Amino acid sequence: MLKRLRWRFIWVNMLLVGIAFLVLFSAVCAVSYRTEKAEVEEAIQNAERRTFGGGQTPPERFGDDGPRGGGEVRLPTIGGEDEPSFVYTVTVVVNADGTYFRGDAFGAEADTETLNAAVSKAMSSEKDSGNINSLNLSWKKTQTMGGETCIIFASTDHLWNELRTTALTTGGVLLCGLVLFFGISYLLSGVVIRPTAKVWEQQKHFVADASHDLKTPITVILANTEILQSSPDAPAEERAKWLEGIAEESERMKGMVNEMLELAKTEQVENLTFSQIDLSEATERTLLQMEPLAFEKGIFMESEIEGSVLLSSVEKNYVRLLYILVDNAVKYSPKGETVRVALTKSGSGAVLTVKNAGEGIPAEELPHVFERFYKGKDGKHGIGLAIAKAVTEARHGTLRVRNDGGAVFEAVFDTKIP
C-alpha cells in the first residue's frame, strides 16, 4: 500500500508539473510565432515603401542588369538547400491582361515556376492578404493608380525555422526539467511518506502486540468459563476464584480498548470550544481525586500550585492531560517516593510540571515516549503519553520530557486562543 501511495504522489506531481510545462511551452511558442510574424509583416511594409515611395506609381521593370522590357522572371527556390536567415521579399506587378513583371526583389533570386504558382494563388483570392503555406510565402495585394495589381510576397521560411528552433530548444529544456523533477519527486516522496510509513510500521507492531496481549485474557476467560460450565457442583470458593479471574482479565481488556478509543478521540479537535478556565482550581481538584490512587501504591504527592492561573482551554482536556501525567508518575515511582506537581505562570501563559522519583526514562527511549504504539523495554505500549501529547498540541501547547533525578514532564501553554 505504501508503495502505491508513493507512486501516486509522484505521478500526481508529475501530472501537475507536466501541465505547467505544457502551458509554458505553448506560451513560448506563441510569443515566438507572433514575434516572427511581426517581422514578416514589417518586411512587407518596408517593401511597400521601397516600391511606391510617396505615391501609388507602379514600379519599373527590372532585369538582371537593370531596366528591361521583358524576360524571364525568377523567384527564390522555395525549400532549397540555402535557407535564408532573414525575411526576403519579392514584388510583382500584374497587368490588366494577366501578364506580370517583377518590380523589386530584396535578398532573393526569382524562379518562374514558383512565381507563377504564387501569383495565381494570390490573384484568385478575394482577400487583400494571405499565406501560401505550400510555398512558405505571405502576400499582400495593392491596386496602383494605373490599374495594375501590385503583389508583395514575403518569405515565411525564417518564421517556421525560428519557431522550430524555439520549439526544439524549449521542449528539450522542459523535458530535461521534467526528468530532473521526476528524480526530485522520487526523493521527496520518500521524505513525505516516511512519517506515514513509520506510523504504519508502528501500527503493525502494535496490532501484533495488542493481538498477543488480548489473546491471553481471552484464553483465560474462555478457560475459566469452560471450567465453570463443566463443574456446576464445585465449591463456592473455587467458583469465586474462577469468576475473579474472568473479571480481572475482562478489566484488562477493557483498559486496552479504552486506551485505543481515547487516543482516537484526542485527534478530533476541530470542533472544540475553548473558554477561560481556572487551571489552579482544576489542578487542585484533580490531584485531590488522585490521592487515593497514590496512597494505595505507597506513593506520596506534593504540589506547588500558583493561584489564579487562568487560560483559554477545554477543561476536560486539561484534566485528562494532568491525570495521564500523574498516573504515569505514580506508576513508575518506587514505593515510598514522592511525585511532585507544579503549576506556575510563565509570562502570559502557564507551565505544568510533573516529576516522579526513580531512575527516569532510558536515554534511548526518551525520543520515542510520545510516539503512538511505542513499546518500551517494560513492554508497555505508551498510548497514554501519546494521548497526553495530542491533548497538549490540541491547545497549541508543547509537551516535553527530560531526566532530572527521575522523569520530568513539562507542558507549556500560552494564552493564544486556537
What are 392-402's pLDDT values in tens digits? 887 778 899 99
Mean pLDDT along residues 328-338: 88
> Of 109 and 353, which is predicted with more confidence?
353
Residue that the C-alpha cell 456446576 belongs to: 232
Place 352 in a pLDDT band, splitting at 50, 70 and 90: very high
The string over 115-135, giving b where at least 16 C-beta atoms fall within 10 Å of a residue's C-beta and e elsewhere, is bebbbebbeeeeeeeebbeeb
- Highest mean pLDDT: which range of 62-66, 159-163, 374-378: 159-163
CA distance 22 to 272: 45
Q: How is the chain split into domains, by residue range?
A: 275-413
What is the Cα–Cα distance from 349 to 120, expressed in whole angstroms? 89
Q: Which of 254, 359, 255, 345 is nearest to 308 (CA)?
A: 345
d(CA 105, CA 64) in angstroms, rounded, equals 11
350, 309 contact by CB (below 8 A)? yes
Q: Residue with C-alpha cell 481538584?
A: 285
pLDDT-based confidence at residue 304 (cuts at 50, 70, 90): very high
Angle in degrees, CA 413, 370, 277, rounded to 5: 25
Phi, psi of 362, deg, nearest 5: -55, 140
Alpha carbon of residue 404 to chain centroid? 41
- The span from the CA of 77 to the CA of 111, in Å, is 6
Say whether pLDDT at 364 is over 60.
yes
Mean pLDDT of 250-261: 73
- Mean per-residue pLDDT over the chain, rounded: 77
| CATH code of the region 275-413 | 3.30.565.10
Q: Please state the pTM of the whole predicted model.
A: 0.45
Phi/psi of residue 238, nearest 5 degrees: -70, -40
Q: How does strand 137-143 pair with strand 407-413?
A: unpaired
Helix (H, G, I), strand (E, B) or coil at 267: coil
Q: Please give the pLDDT value at position 80.
A: 47
**Are the C-beta atoms of residues 390 and 263 closer than 8 Å to each other?**
yes
H or E element, residue 304: strand 300-305
State pLDDT tens for residues 34-79. Answer: 888 888 888 888 877 777 764 544 444 444 333 333 334 344 444 4
Say which residue the cell 494571405 belongs to. Answer: 130
Which pLDDT score, from 0 to 100, does residue 10 have?
Answer: 83
For residue 228, report the phi and psi dihedrals to the nearest 5 degrees: -65, -40
- 12-26, 68-82, 200-214, 268-282: which has the highest mean pLDDT? 12-26
Q: And the C-alpha cell for 110?
A: 526569382
Task: Give the type of residue at 284.
Answer: E
pLDDT of 128 strictly over 80: yes
- Write down the pLDDT at residue 333: 87
Q: Output the CA–CA distances (angstroms, integers) from residue 352 to 59, 175, 283, 306, 342, in the order listed.
A: 99, 56, 9, 10, 6
Who contacts 234 (Cβ-Cβ below 8 Å, separation ≥6)? Answer: 227, 228
Q: How far apart are CA 30 and CA 18, in angstroms?
A: 18
Please tell me the distance from the alpha carbon of residue 105 to that of residue 107, in angstroms, as a whole number: 6
Cα distance between residue 216 and residue 176, in whole Å: 59
Would you state the pLDDT for residue 340?
92
CA 15/CA 8 separation, integer angstroms: 10
**Distances 67 to 63, 64, 229 between C-alpha atoms, Å:** 6, 8, 128
* Total length of the chain: 418
Burial 180-196 (b: 16+ CB within 10 A, else e): ebbeebeeebeeebeee
From 144, 56, 51, select the one nearest 96 (Cα to Cα): 144
The three-state secondary structure class of 316 is: helix
Per-residue pLDDT, 141? 86
Any idea what DSSP says for residue 231?
-
